[in-house]
Amino acid sequence: MTTADTVWPESIGAELDRTGPVPLYFQVSTRLEHEIRAGNIAPGARLENEIAIAERLGLSRPTIRRAIQELVDKGLLVRRRGVGTQVVQGQVTRQVELTSLYEDLDNAQQGPATRVLEHEVRPADPASATALGVTEGSDILYLRRQRLTGTTPIAILENYLPADLADLDRDELEQRGLYQLLRARGIAIRIAKQKIGARRAEGDEHALLGTERGGPVLTMERIAFDNTGRAIEFGHHCYRPDMYTFETTVVAR
Amino acid sequence: MTTADTVWPESIGAELDRTGPVPLYFQVSTRLEHEIRAGNIAPGARLENEIAIAERLGLSRPTIRRAIQELVDKGLLVRRRGVGTQVVQGQVTRQVELTSLYEDLDNAQQGPATRVLEHEVRPADPASATALGVTEGSDILYLRRQRLTGTTPIAILENYLPADLADLDRDELEQRGLYQLLRARGIAIRIAKQKIGARRAEGDEHALLGTERGGPVLTMERIAFDNTGRAIEFGHHCYRPDMYTFETTVVAR
DNA sequence: TAGTGGTCTAGACCACATG
DNA sequence: ATGTGGTCTAGACCACTAT
């Protein structure tokens, strides 16, 4: 039964692929997300109840629940026991995903560019050694890059990587983002721990960013781990605050 | 069967409460998180497989999976198909939760204090009206507060709230965090959308923060929604960058 | 009282990683 | 070949909300 004021686009149930590798819950959540972002389901609208959706699609309730949960976690839907599931009021914004700045810019189609300023294998200083979980003084790869969008500098990126990843060369790094290159080597970043802060520009940073000497910069420090829990990359970066902000959606548990 | 090199603290299965309101998956995940944070399960250690754990605890596999998933989402565990579930290498840090700065400081036992600088009902300017989803010029509550830890200023907080929440008074706001007061009124924040950035200190900010004129400040802008998706609070805040950073753990899906 | 989401069970089959 | 997590089913009972 569908009560009068609930919503469910028929197209979501059309031609679900049960043979391919894409999970059913993911097919459903992807299509539902698309309908919401396209505005085909209005903010505040109530979805049909889970059991009705499950029957309509010929799926089980846990599968539907999982699809809905994906969008709850993204901040697109809100569930209330005894009431139902609703589309969130308020503008939908992009999530901070586990991607690199390069990919952010690439997706925004602003034509990212990279200049490799430094690229050398050097002994690990105490901070980098601790972050990467290697012994102090052992070889690590140090990178310093300037990131631009078009001709406007946006960030200065400093990274430290374990020595066995030192085969990344300058040309590759000017053409691709670091995470893209790592993925191409079969290394997937699974978890990252980040600290975001601010400070004055130091040294040559104001020159590289095209800002005033001693002006503010937005900073991020990150340690990234692969799916074995091994530290893959330690970085501290600074961004032009008039060109870049971090956006997040936080959902209460 | 337990293979030789897997781990499972017996205490986790002891005295699970099937009658109370606390879900079984939550009881399990809480205890497991405690064992990991206490160091009783070493980083890199592999847990028993899910079916074995389920049998050992007399629970179903989906319940165990959900408990484990909670900690995967927190960045404490990593799962690999065909391999198993492992404790992440690398230090465990605190999560950015959906709490207010007051509670962060309170938990850190640094003795938070608040000075209410401004507290008045005024017509909504365009930016606040858009953020809160009210019509421009309608009444909203404007707050400006200075937050300190001990006697050191940490942040300047500016908030805009719908007029029906204007019964928050000065004294309350000096004693409690804003989110605590809202919760006490039965309003739970469910989703927040945040932007983090940096800029120079403006106006009287350097004086209120005890920093240099024109020095850098860390900024956060936030719109918070309750469980109906209604906008409850719009704020833009600035923080002393030497006293405060934002920490996040990001987990790939 | 009726309807909703929240939790839980006891299985099943599959894809993937490892030896 | 074996063991692991990933997905899915078809139910069940409960707590909460609204009328």
Q: Which residue is nearest to nucleotide D10 (CA to C1')?
A: A60
Distances (CA, A) of A184 to A119, A167, A177, A229, B46: 20, 12, 11, 19, 27
Tell me how many degrees the CA angle A203-A209-A215 measures, rounded to the nearest 5.
Answer: 65
Contact B95, B106 (CB under 8 A): no
CB contact under 8 A, B193 and A98: no
Q: Give the residue among B151, B44, B211 at the shortest CA–CA distance from A231.
A: B44
CA B244 remoteness from chain centre = 15
Q: Is the CB of A133 under 7 A from strand D?
A: no
Using DSSP's 3-state secondary structure scheme, residue B2 falls into coil
Could you give the percent of chain A with pLDDT greater than 70?
Answer: 89
Residue B237: half-sphere exposure toward Cβ, Cα within 13 Å: 27
The count of residues in chain A is: 253
Instruction: Decide: residue A128, CB within 10 A, 0-12 exposed, 13-18 middle, 19+ buried.
Output: buried
Q: Which of A90, A215, A228 sits opposite B133 (nearest CB)?
A: A90
C-alpha separations of B192 from A95, A216, B98, B154, B198 in Å: 12, 26, 8, 22, 19
pLDDT at B156: 96
Phi/psi for A46 (5° steps) reads -100, 135
- Residue A142 CA to residue A160 CA, distance in Å, equals 5
Residue type present at position A51: I
- Based on its alpha-carbon atoms, the radius of gyration of chain A, rounded to whole angstroms, reads 23
CA B99 from chain centre, in angstroms, equals: 4
Q: Do B250 and A98 touch (CB under 8 A)?
A: yes
Residue B112 has pLDDT above 90, yes or no: no
Q: What is the pLDDT of residue A151?
A: 83
Nearest CA in chain A to B251: A191
A71-94: average pLDDT: 83
Q: What is the pLDDT of residue A108?
A: 56
What pLDDT sits at residue B111? 64
> For chain B, how many residues are written?
253
Per-residue pLDDT of A192-219, as tens digits, reads 888 899 999 999 999 999 999 999 999 9
Per-residue confidence (pLDDT) for residue A104, from 0 to 100: 60
pLDDT at A2: 43
pLDDT, one tens digit per residue, over A103-153 is 565 555 556 789 999 999 999 999 899 888 889 999 999 999 999 888 889
**Cβ–Cβ gap B78/A227 under 8 Å:** yes
Positive or negative: CA dihedral B189, B195, B201, B203: negative
List, in sequence order, every residue forming a beta bridge with B159; answer none if it has no partner. B143, B235
A242-A248-A249 Cα angle (round to 5): 145
